[in-house]
Structures are given as C-alpha cells and as structure tokens.
Structure 1
Amino acid sequence: MGCCFNRKDLGLLALRSAVGGVLFTHGAQKLFGWFGGGGMEGTARAMEQMGFKPGGRNALAAGLGEAGGGALLVAGLATPAAGAIVAGTMAGAISVHFSRGFFVTQGGYEYPAVLGACGLAVGLSGAGRYSLDDLTGYRLDRAAIGLVAFVASAASAAAVVSKRQRALKEAAAAERAGAS
C-alpha cells in the first residue's frame, strides 16, 4: 500500500514555499517597509547608491520582482513566469554583490545566486501537484509561457545590470575628475 502523497510534489511544495516565502518578505521590505525594511523611500535611496537609477523605478521593480515572484512561487501559479521573474530579479542582486566574491560572509553573491537558481529550477520543473497551476489545469504553465518569460527576464536583467554598470563608471569618472 502506497502513501497518498507524492514525495516529489511535496518536495516541490516545500522548495516553493521556502524560496517564495523568503523572496516575498524581502520584496515586502522594499515595497511596504514590512519586516524592518526601508519601504519605497528607503529602498529608492539605497538603489540610487548602488547605481540603479532612477532609484524609485528600480526599487519598485525589485520589490515587485521579489514579492510578486515569491508569492507566485508559493502559490504555484504561472510557475515558469514566476521562476523567470525570480531569476531575473536575483541577477540584479548578484550584480551588486559580485565584486565581493562568492561567499555571503564577505558580502558576496552566494545568497541571491541560490535564490535565483532555485527560482529557475522550479520554473523549469513546474510547481507539482500541490499548486494552483495543477488546480487550473496548467493553463499558465506552458512551455511557450516559460520560454517567453525567461527570454524577457534575461533581456531585462541584462539591460538593468548594463545600465547600472554604466552609471557606476560615470560616477567613478566624475569622482576622479572632481578630485583632480
């Protein structure tokens, strides 16, 4: 006699809940100031300091990417798009921490890389049986949706990171010129 629960589907539920829950709370910090976060104003200032300009628009995008992507992962709804949103959002976070190396203990990109990889993996594998995707007949979990979402997310992340790199170079050049 077998168990009435599928281990793989339970594993996907646990992974989606953990990763999505973490991302949702980080996004809620940015958007609403919940859980000790800076809200939109504080996040916008921080984004400007990190080279993401304009800060307000980037704060909104990061907050929605984390909170929205996280909520979709937890629910198991539009899972390919949710995974793409999470992976793209974490690419921006990786760009902030990249210069400090891999390990989070030195301020590195380890943590956003793991969150992004988990989002990517769930987006590719699907949410499993215990999800809203399953309840809706996988209408929003189709290969074409996943392909479009991952291409759009990768292109958006590349554009945002490139724009940030240009802003940082311009700021450094202005600082050198001012110091002369």
Structure 2
Amino acid sequence: MQQRLRDVTVLVARLVVGATFLAHGYQKFVLSGMDATVASFEGMGLPAIAAWFTATVEVVGGLGLVLGVLLPVVGVLLAAVMVGALVTAHLSNGFFSSDGGFEYVLVLAAASLALGFSGPRYTLPALFRGKAQEAERVAA
C-alpha cells in the first residue's frame, strides 16, 4: 500500500511539474511568441539559440515528465535550463520569487531532478511493458 501511494504521489508531481513546464514553453512559443522571447533573452546578453533551446526543452521535457518518457534525461535537461535561468536572470534579485529572485526556478530544478530519477511506475513505457508482459502470459 505504501509503495502504491508513493507511486501515485510521484505521478501527481510529474503531472503538475510537467504541465508547468509545458505552460512555460507554450508561453514562449505561442503567447509571447519566439520573436519576443528571443529579444528578451538577447536583452539579458544571451544568444537567440538559448531562447529556442529553453522553450524546446520546456515543451519536450514537460511532455516527457507527463508521459514518464526518458525521465533521467528529461530531469537533467529541465534542471539545467532552470539553473541557467537562476544564474542569468534571477540570482541577482535575491531568493524570493516575489522580487524576481531564484526561489521558483530553484524548486523547479530540484523537482525536475527528483522526478527524473523517481522510478518507472505509472509511465507510458511501463504501460507498454505491462501490455507486452500480459500478451506473453496469455500466449503461453
């Protein structure tokens, strides 16, 4: 029972954090638009490719968390993007996110790493593995 509860809470966390990253990537690609996103990154002294990389990692990584696909890779990439945001945009504003600080991106970085290495239960690959194992059992 305790393991199942742990697996469900990890699933909920993956869904929430993944949806958060998807929303941020969507914001960059669609709501703000990539022209504005690139201009914002360039205003911080970052190259245009950093804006594209960040938005792409947020969308693909968010989807990866939601589906539970390539979790270690997704966790590391999302954490790296958040550490980049911490260093380039938030560190000089102190800790609290209400002041533009790094509190929020630090939590997202840590959550991404934790979820990336949280285990394979309730993921898309586990679902397919389960169906394959069930088919093998029925065929035997």
TM-score by length of 1: 0.67
**Offset of residue 69 of structure 1:** 0.7
Residue type of the alignment partner of 1:75: L
Task: Map Cα deviations across residues 72-108 of structure 1 (whole Å, 9 max, x no partner).
Answer: 0011111111101110111111111001111101110
For structure 2, which runs of at least 5 residues remain unmatched after alignment? 130-140
**What is the 5 A alignment of 1:1-180?**
6-31=4-29, 33=30, 37-53=31-47, 55=48, 57-95=49-87, 96-126=89-119, 128-137=120-129
Which residue identity does 2:36 align to in structure 1? Answer: G
**RMSD in angstroms over aligned alpha carbons?**
1.7
Q: Point out 4+ residue stretches in structure 1 off by more than 4 angstroms.
A: none
The alignment's TM-score, normalised by the length of structure 2, stands at: 0.85
Counterpart amino acid of 2:83?
A: A
Aligned length in residues? 128
Structure 1: gaps spanning 5 or more residues: 138-180
Quote the Cα distance in structure 1 between the aligned partners of 2:125 and 2:74.
11
Q: Assess, with a 3 A threshold, how the Cα gap between structure 1 residues 89 and 136 changes in structure 2: closer, same or farther.
A: farther
> Is residue 94–residue 109 contact of structure 1 (8 Å, CA) maintained in 2?
yes
Distance 1:90 1:136 in 2: 31
Partner secondary structure for residue 121 of structure 2: coil
Identity %: 38
